[in-house]
Amino acid sequence: MRIIPAIDILGGKCVRLTRGDFSTKKVYNDDPLEVAKEMEDNGIRYLHLVDLDGTKSKMIVHYRILEKIASQTSLEIDFGGGIRSYNDLRIAFGSGARQVTAGSIAHSSPALVLEWLSKFGNEKIILGADSKDSKITINGWQKESESDVISYISDYCSKGIKYAICTDVEKDGLLEGPATDLYREIISAVKVDLIASGGISSLDDIIEIKEAGCEGAIIGKAIYEGKIKLKELRDLC
C-alpha cells in the first residue's frame, strides 16, 4: 500500500482543516516546499497536494507551489483542488503533477472527465469520491449530492477509472480513525484501486486500512500533530 502524506495549501501556506471547514484553518508551516523536502528526506515517495484556494476559486491557483515542489524534490505528486477545465489540467501536468484528482468536476461534468481519461489514461486521472452519509459531496464538501458513493465509483470504474480517493467528510481532521467499514464495502463491490483519506491517527489505522485492501493511504493531520512520525512512515514505505 502506498503511503501518501498530504499538504493542503491555503494562502500559500501549509494548513489543515477539519471536515473541510475553512474557519477551522490551522497553519503548520509558511513554506509548503520546506514541508515537502522534509517528507522526502524521511524516505517518502508520494505526495497528495491540495490547492484549497483553487477549490474556492474553482480554478487552479497554486501551480507555482506545485512547480517548486515537483522541480526541487523527487516526490510523485497527485494534485487536486480547483481542477475545472482542460486548461487547469494542462497547467497541473505542466507544473509537474504526476496525477490529477477530478473531484466536483467529475460530478458536474462527467463527459469532460471521461474525455480527459481517454486523452491522458487511467494512470493520470484519479476520481475524487468524497462522501458524507454515503452520499458524494461536492464544492469543497459544502454540498451533498444524491449520488451513492459506491454506485458513483462503480459507474466511473466501468468507464475506465482505475484510482479513486475516498474521504469520509465526517472523519476528516478529527483523528478518530478512518472509515474502514466504508472502504471494505467499496472494495468488496467495485474493482478499484482505492485510496483512503480522513481520520487516520495512528500506525494501527494504516495497518487496518491496508488489511481492508486499500491501494493507498493519505495522511495529513496526524503527521502535523505528531501522532505519526515521518520516520515511522519510512518503515512502511
Tell how far CA 209 is from the center of its chain. Answer: 16
Instruction: Calculate Rg over the CA atoms of the chain.
Output: 16
Q: Rounded distance, CA 80 to CA 101, Å?
A: 5
Catalytic pick among 51, 130, 172, 205: 130
**Catalytic status, residue 30:** no
> DSSP code of 80?
E
Q: In 10 A of CB 174, how many CB atoms? A: 13
Assess contact for 194 and 187: CB atoms under 8 A: yes
> For the chain, how are helix, strand and coil distributed in percent, rounded to 5?
40, 30, 30
**Is 8 among the catalytic positions?**
yes
Number of H helices, E strands in the chain: 11, 13
CA distances from 221 to 60, 112, 163, 229, 232 (A): 23, 33, 23, 11, 15
Catalytic residues: 8, 130
